[in-house]
Amino acid sequence: MRKKNARSIATQVLTQVIGYKHSLSDCLDTALPSLNDARDRALAQALCYGVLRWLPRLQALLQRLLRKPFKAKDSDIEVLLLIGLYQQLYMRIPDHAAIAATVDVTRTLKKPWATGLVNGVLRHFQRQQKTLLMSVDNDNSAKLAHPPWLLERLIQDYPKDWEAIVEANNTHPPLTLRVNARLMSRDDYLEHLRVANMGAVPTPYTEYGITLEQIPQGMPNSLPGFTQGWASVQDGAAQLAAPLLDVPIGARVLDACAAPGGKTAHLLEHYNIDALLALDNQPARVQKLTDTLHRLQLLAEVRLADASQPETWWDGEPFDRILLDVPCSGSGVIRRHPDIKYLRRSSDIKKLAAQQKRLLGALWKLLKPGGKLLYITCSVFAEENHLQIQNWLTSHADANETVISADWGHAMAYGRQILPGENNHDGFYYACLSKTK
């Protein structure tokens, strides 16, 4: 029996994501441990992310290279061809090596009949690459590697910025860290990275953010002091949340949709909080939240609960501050999660906006008069962001917006929007709401 390698694992993972709409992160978490070599794991991961990043373009090319579509039972061979095309177009692996290694996977898949087919298709592309690319790039969806519905929404919401957003979505994101302020300063951790020969610079607009110049192997445990809680992986835009909440001494704080715990932990690192309740409604995510706090040596009350149903978990004591990082389309973090382009549908946005409104309605009742709620998404869509807040303020006389004055992002009609790639940050939206009575 042939041993699985990086390309066969990538084929397995991408078949699940593309064919069955499974989450890329979940599939990788399951599949990567079967590869013992760190370089193989890195290659498998790079292939999965790369193919999904450029999937519409790769699929358009493959359509022109095949005489007829594959049967459902052979979708793994179709995925394997996409992996082969991605290597030829976007990786530094020599064509002959990429083709040979890709062809070899047909034997691991126990489909020797496909050996000649895979070899022939990839060699045909090698010979006709320029002509084929000119053909597929006549279509914007293929050329820009975004589904039509997503391009349409971006053009509608950002007629001047949509091209920059699309370009950012197709780039590799940086690795950004947040230093644990309870354990050391940013300068101290930068020195630890220097000693470890890991180049890094401070992240703009953050107090404890650090951006690495290269992603080291063995992440994240290979980072200095990671297991001891010295630092966490968190994008610079996400690090803006804690300072915006402005938590006073003695405040009672709710993090309503807390897992996997990055913002919860940052609140506890940034402020002296005696009472913080962190909720999530999925057991696996609650476990991740608990593990995060344990590694960082932080304490909070963690509960498995649905934030939209406070009657099942609330003790009746109102909160001074609420952090509401709502479920959203994830359209601002596509560069980190390229499967979002294909797992999401245009119809999802209206459903998500309705869910966000329900969460606002349920939690607003729990906020003290004079208290503050920070509404957050990692989306760029107006319907989830400033239009959501506009509708809320219009229909609630006891709600005011606290305008965010900042050098980062864009002031919207309500709230503030960071677009993907700006200052190398992910796309995030923030709005601060205060309760008047």
Residue spans of the domains in the chain: they are: 6-139, 175-233, 238-435
Domain 238-435 has CATH 3.40.50.150: yes
CA atoms within 13 A on the CB side of 348: 17
Q: Is the peptide bond before 94 cis (omega within 30 degrees of 0)?
A: no
Token representation of residue 79: 């995925």
Mean pLDDT of the chain: 97
Place of tokens 């053909």: 135
Q: How far is CA 174 from CA 216, 265, 347, 385, in A?
A: 12, 21, 31, 25
What per-residue confidence (pLDDT) applies to 437? 82
Instruction: Exactly one of 27, 48, 257, 378 is catalytic; name it.
Output: 378
Residues in a beta bridge with 401: 433
What per-residue confidence (pLDDT) applies to 284? 95
CATH number for the region 6-139 comes to 1.10.940.10
- 3-state DSSP call for residue 211? strand
The mean pLDDT value for 97-104 works out to 97
Q: How far is CA 137 from CA 126, 211, 319, 425, in A?
A: 17, 34, 53, 28
Superfamily the domain 175-233 falls into:
Sun protein; domain 3 (3.30.70.1170)
CA atoms within 13 A on the CB side of 22: 17
What per-residue confidence (pLDDT) applies to 106? 97
What per-residue confidence (pLDDT) applies to 219? 87
Q: Over 80: is that where the pLDDT of 129 sits?
A: yes
Question: Side chain identity at 382, as an amino acid letter?
Answer: A
* Closest CA relative to residue 210, chosen from 220, 202, 222, 198: 202
pTM over 0.85: yes
Token representation of residue 207: 């107090």
Q: Over 60: is that where the pLDDT of 249 sits?
A: yes
- DSSP character at residue 196: T
CA atoms within 13 A on the CB side of 371: 21
Report which secondary-structure segment, H or E, holds 249.
none
Token representation of residue 146: 């975004």
What per-residue confidence (pLDDT) applies to 4? 83
pLDDT digits (tens, 9 = 90+) for 353-383: 999 999 999 999 999 999 999 999 999 999 9
Task: Look up 257 and say whether it is catalytic.
Answer: no
Burial classification of residue 140, based on how many CB atoms lie within 10 Å of its CB (0-12 exposed, 13-18 middle, 19 or more buried): middle
What per-residue confidence (pLDDT) applies to 2? 66
- DSSP character at residue 430: E
Q: Over 90: is that where the pLDDT of 351 sits?
A: yes
The mean pLDDT value for 71-94 works out to 97
**What is the secondary structure of 33-48 as a DSSP string?**
GG--SHHHHHHHHHHH
pLDDT digits (tens, 9 = 90+) for 266-320: 999 999 999 999 999 999 999 999 999 999 999 999 999 999 999 999 999 999 9
Token representation of residue 345: 């549908």
Percent of the chain with pLDDT over 90: 97
* Helix, strand and coil percent figures for the chain, each rounded to 5: 50, 15, 35
Q: Over 80: is that where the pLDDT of 344 sits?
A: yes
What are the φ and ψ backbone dihedral angles of 103, each rounded to 5 degrees?
Answer: -60, -40
pLDDT digits (tens, 9 = 90+) for 293-302: 999 999 999 9
Beta strand segments in 235-347, E: 252-255, 275-280, 301-304, 319-325
CA dihedral sign, ordered 24, 27, 33, 39: negative
Evaluate whether 175-233 and 238-435 have a shared fold: no
pLDDT digits (tens, 9 = 90+) for 149-174: 999 999 999 999 999 999 999 999 99
Percent of the chain with pLDDT over 70: 100
Q: What is the CA radius of gyration of the chain?
A: 23
Q: Over 90: is that where the pLDDT of 416 sits?
A: yes
